[in-house]
Each structure stands twice: as structure tokens, then as C-alpha cells.
A and B are shown apart, each in its own frame.
Chain A
Amino acid sequence: MTAILQISDLSAGYGPLRVLHEINLSVARGERLAIVGLNGHGKTTLFRAITHLVGWQQGSILFDGTQIGGTRSLGEGRRTPGIVRLGVAMTPQGDAIFPGLTVRQHLDCGAWSRRAWKERARRREMIFDLFPPLRKLENTTVGTLSGGERRMVSVGRALMTEARLYLIDEPSLGLAPIISQRVVAALREIDVRDGAMIVAEQNVSLLDGQVDRMIGMHAGRLRGDVGHVELG
């Protein structure tokens, strides 16, 4: 199996602060990987380095044979749309969404490719099948939704255009257990045969049995390939 994502010696941070220390990580095609660890240990920064949203970064990130890493000290976000268009879909931590748009417009924003835009009505239906509560909220402003509904919208936006790498940051953050389980179950539905998915999460038991591999993250370094874990 070839690696879809090959990260070597990746360091990243904000200003004088170094958050990631020479990360090495390889993700195989078709794999569902979880990165677990406590708050503030670099899980989000790793995702933001892959999409070029950190202050500075150095090291190599090979995505399906294309180099998207490199040394960079300025220009936060400049290459992000290009990386997204290579096929990286990320749902940001919390609800980094457009509060004044409706659910429907919000989903349309995710349909960036020409084909996805043409088929956007059908794809919205697909998202509504995945998250039934959203169907009746189609024309509601996202800023007025509850936390769980926003998370569904945020994940739904990332699914509107098929990606090869899904980066899902903290799907359970701030959600009631039953709703987090629904979100995780929906993540399980995503087809990753041609790509891969990385989930960053603090709640290990929530991901039990839902991923192929777990890696711990501590103080900006990856610690221990846990493999498939069964928790009592």
C-alpha cells in the first residue's frame, strides 16, 4: 500500500513559539488514523501546518507525490486554497464557519470543484441523508444553530467535494455524548478507499473501533503507534 501522506521532519509554530518538533508520519491509502492527545499538544497545529495556516513551518509534506511542505515564514493562508484544491478537506476546530450564511449557502461554499458545483443540489441531499436534522434547517442562518448542528454543517461542508485527505479536528469538542457519537458514525460513512482520514480527538473511547490506527501526541511529538485499541 502506498502512502498518501508522508510527513518528514516537520516543525511548525507561531512566532518564537515552536509547537511541532520534527514530526515524522506516514499515512497509507485507505487508512483511518486517529491522533489522540491532550489540549495544547499540537494536534491542531499539525493539521494547520498541512494546510499552511500556521505562522511558520519547515519540513517536507508529501501529499500523494506532491510536495506541499517546505520552509515558510510568512504568508499564512496564501497557499491554503491551492492545497484544498489538491484534495485536502479540513474541518477546523470549534466552529470556524460563516455565521451569516444559511445552511444551504454554507454547504454550497464547500462545493469548490466544477463538478461538485454542478451537482450541488444532489450533494446537499446526500449531506442531509447523513445528518437528517439539517434537512429542515436548510434555510436557517448558521449563526443561530446549536453547537451540534454547527458541527454537522462544518463536517458537511468538508464532504461537499470529494477529497483524498480528510482532516477532522476534534469532532466531539463541546458536544453532548450522543451527538458526538452521531458525528463519529457519520465520519465512518465517508468513503476513504482512494484517500485517508485523520481525526484529532481527546476522547479516546469515542473513537474505539472506528479507526484503523491511533497515534498519541505529546508536547509536539508523536508518541507511540498504539495500533488498534480495545478499551473496556
Chain B
Amino acid sequence: MDATLIVYALNLSAIYALMAIGISLLWSSIGMMNMAHGATFAVAGYGALVIGDAVLPGIESALRGSDLLPFIRLAVLLSAGVGTGAVFGGIIYLLAFLPIHDKANFAVRGLIVTLAINLATVQLLLWWFGPRQKALPAIFGMGRLEVFGIPVRYDQAVTITATVILLGVVLAWLRTSRKGLEIRAMMQNPEGAALSGISARRTALPIMAVTGAMAGAAAVLLSQTVFVSPGAGAMPLIKGMIIALLGGLGSVPGAAAAAVLIGFLEAITGVIPFLGQRMVLLVQFGFIILVLILRPRGIGGLLDETRK
């Protein structure tokens, strides 16, 4: 396996990890299978597009020729995508969590409501922006840089670094802050959390916003290679969801490991001559089905020390 292939695989893994960890966190903390995660992805892409179009031309003409320009572009687009994703997460919270979270069968109702939100949002985007795919402004262009003698495309380097930093921040927040403690308590025992005065309603909003922001970051980072379009969220949603399942729903280390596994599987399948790119989905889904038959709880159970 050559080095560029490894970089390509890590790039895919980074995007998948952002989506899958968000889905996994939502399921384990508030018990909601968020089918609108794909819509969050698409909306954040358009949010970055609109805000970028509004802000960037002014900045570019002011700083013409500056070396800092790509970094400013990155900061503007990434924060626009993350911000839009977080706001859309808040909207999902208002529509799909708050009214029904204490009703019977919340898991199924939540699934249906978020699926409806997903479909409605994609149609709204189609109506407002039209079906044409659009490209985000290129951040660094198509250049390459050498890392330990391996040629890495700029956008790949940015995606991998930004994902590692972002996931590091989210995990540190979960591990050290008071809100993070409350979220982890709720993941492990909702009733015990309620008896500790931890309200599901107050804990769900930050977790929805954070997972939305992660989907937004994934949208901006991926749209350096893929166009922004209303239906762009479908594939990241499906892949994020099956990777979260493969990792053992609710296990963050499991989801991260599964994302890396699937990223490499996709990269390797693409270069095997008799399989190629068109067989990627078939191989991926076959692999996940096989793992779930052999280990129905996914690979997360291997990593977590104590689970019920």
C-alpha cells in the first residue's frame, strides 16, 4: 500500500468519524436516531456557501496577495459551516426533541420526525437554491505539500488536521466540563441522572448543537473535493449511521475505530483492479453486515471497560 493511499484513507476516515461520532453520541445520550443529520450536513454546506459569498470577496480585495489569505478563507468557511450546523442542530432539538422526548416510544417517534425533517429540508434547499451543484471557494487550491516525503494535497492535510483538532476538543469537553459530566451520566443511566437533578431537556440542547457543528465541519471539509448540493447529505448520513452501528452505537472510541476501518476499506477497495470504485459500497456494506452477524454489538464492546 503506498503512502498517498494511506493519506486518502485517513481523509475519508476523518469525514466519516465526524459524522459517525455525532450520530453515536446523540443515540447514547438522548436516545434519538437523528435521521436529519444528513440535512444538517447539506444545510451547513449551503450556510458556508452563502456566508462565504457574502464575506470573502471583501476580505480578498483587502488582503490581496497576502500569505494569510488561505487561512482566513478556511477560518471563515469552517466557522460558517460549524455555526450553521450548530444552529440547525438547535432547530432539530426544538422540532423533534422537545415536544416528544417524554412520550412513549420516543426512539421510534424521534426517528420518524427527524426523517420528516430531513426530507422537508432537502426539498426546501431544492426550492430555494435549485438542483444545481455549487462549489465552495477553494481554500488552498490544488497544490501539494510534502510530509515526511509523502505528497499530501492541501485539502487532505487540512481535513485530517482539522478533524483531529475538532474531535480532540469535543472529547476534552466531554471529559472535563460539567456539562460533559452530565452528558456522560445521562448516557450511562438516564434514571440515575434524573435523580441527580440532571434535566434531559437542558442537556440535549448542547449535545444537539455540538453534533450539528461536527456535521457542519464535515460538510465544509468534504466540499473541497465534492460539490454542495441539496441531496449531498444522504451518503454521509447513511455511511455515518452504519459506521456508528459498526462501532457499537454509543461508543465514541468504537465509532472512531470503525471510521478508520471503513475509510481504509474504501481506499483499498478502490485500487483493487477487479473491484474498483463502483464496488466500494457493496464491499463496505457486506463487511459491516458480516461484522454485525459475528458481533451484534459492534466493535465498541471490545473497547469499553464496563458496559451493562
Seen from chain A, the residues whose Cβ lies within 8 Å of a Cβ on chain B are 51, 53, 74-78, 80-82, 84-85, 90, 92, 96-101, 105, 108-110, 112-113, 117, 141, 143-144, 157, 161
* Contact assessment for B188 and A101 in the assembled complex, using a CB-CB cutoff below 8 Å: yes
Decide yes or no whether B124 CB sits under 8 A from chain A: no
Are B185 and A77 closer than 8 Å at their CB atoms?
Answer: no
Pairs of residues from A and B, 3 with the lowest C-beta to C-beta distance, nearest first: A143-B306, A112-B197, A80-B194
- Enumerate 24 A-B pairs (CB-CB under 8 Å) in ascending A order: A51-B194, A77-B190, A77-B200, A78-B102, A81-B197, A81-B198, A84-B195, A84-B196, A84-B197, A85-B197, A92-B191, A96-B189, A97-B192, A98-B184, A100-B304, A101-B184, A108-B181, A109-B181, A109-B192, A110-B196, A113-B197, A117-B178, A141-B305, A157-B196
Interface presence of B193 (CB below 8 A) = yes
A98 touches B197 (CB 8 A): no
Known pairs A81-B198, A100-B188, A101-B184 / 12 extra A-B pairs, C-beta < 8 Å? A74-B104, A77-B190, A77-B200, A84-B196, A96-B189, A96-B191, A98-B185, A99-B306, A100-B306, A100-B307, A101-B181, A105-B184
Give the chain A neighbours of B102 by CB distance below 8 A. Answer: 74-78
List of B residues within 8 angstroms of A101 by Cβ: 181, 184-185, 188
Q: Is B225 an interface residue (CB 8 A)?
A: no
Q: Is B199 an interface residue (CB 8 A)?
A: yes
Q: A105-B181, A109-B182 are in contact. Are A99 and B195 (CB under 8 A)?
A: no
Residues of B within 8 A of A (CB): 102-104, 178, 181-182, 184-185, 188-200, 304-308
* In the complex, residue of chain A having the shortest beta-carbon distance to the beta carbon of B304: A100
Complex Cα distance A161/B197, Å? 10
Q: Is the CB of A99 within 8 A of B196?
A: no
In the complex, what residue of chain A is closest to B198 when comparing beta carbons? A81
Contact of B188 among A92, A99, A108, A112 (CB under 8 A): A99
**Shortest Cβ gap from A180 to chain B (Å):** 21
Are B306 and A109 within 8 A (Cβ)? no
CB within 8 Å for A99 and B308 given contacts A74-B104, A75-B102, A117-B178 = yes
Docked CA distance A100–B196 (Å):
16
Chain A residues whose C-beta falls within 8 Å of the C-beta of B305 in the assembled complex: 100, 141, 143-144
Shortest Cβ distance from A98 into B: residue: B188
Residues of chain A with a CB closer than 8 A to B178's CB: 108, 117
Q: In the bound complex, do residue B189 and residue A98 qualify as a contact, i.e. CB atoms below 8 Å apart?
A: yes
In whole angstroms, how far apart are the Cα atoms of A80 and B102 in the complex?
A: 12
CB-CB under 8 A from B195, the residues of chain A are 51, 80, 84, 90, 92, 96
Of B199, B307, B308, most A-chain CB atoms within 10 Å: B199
Q: Across the interface, which residues of B come within 8 angstroms of A51, CB to CB?
A: 194-195
CA distance A84 to B191 in the complex (A): 12
Q: Do B185 and A109 touch (CB < 8 A)? A: yes
Residues of B within 8 A of A110 (CB): 196
Q: Kindly name the residue among A51, A109, A141 whose own CB sees the greatest number of chain B CB atoms within 10 A.
A: A109
> Does the CB pair A112–B198 fall under 8 Å?
yes
Residue contact B188 to A53, C-beta cutoff 8 Å: no
Closest beta carbon of chain A to B169's beta carbon, Å = 20
Q: How long is the Cα–Cα vector from A92 to B101 in the complex, in angstroms?
A: 23
* Cα of A141 to Cα of B305 in the assembled complex, Å: 9
**Neighbour of A77 across the interface among B181, B182, B194, CB < 8 A:** B194
A166 CB to closest chain B CB (Å) equals 12
Known interface pairs A99-B307, A109-B198; A77-B188 also in contact (CB < 8 Å): no
Cβ-closest chain B residue relative to A105:
B181
CB distance from A138 to the nearest CB of B (A): 15
Interface centre among B184, B188, B189, B197 (most CB of A within 10 A): B197
CA A152 to CA B266, docked complex, whole Å: 50
* B189 / chain A contacts, CB cutoff of 8 Å: 96-99
Chain A residues with CB under 8 Å of B185's CB are 98, 101, 109
Closest to A154 in B: B192
Closest to A157 in B: B196
Q: A82-B199, A112-B197, A117-B178 are in contact. Are A96 and B306 (CB under 8 A)?
A: no
Name the CB-closest residue of B to A75: B102
| Closest chain A residue, CB of each to CB of B189 | A98
Contacts of A78 in B (CB 8 A): 102
What separation, in Å, do the CA atoms of A76 and B200 have in the docked complex? 12
Indicate if the CB atoms of A144 and B306 lie closer than 8 Å.
Answer: yes
Q: Which of these, B103, B181, B194, B304, contacts A81 with CB under 8 Å?
A: B194
Task: Choose among B103, B182, B192 the residue that contacts A96 (Cβ–Cβ < 8 A).
Answer: B192
Which chain B positions have C-beta within 8 A of A99? Answer: 188-189, 306-308
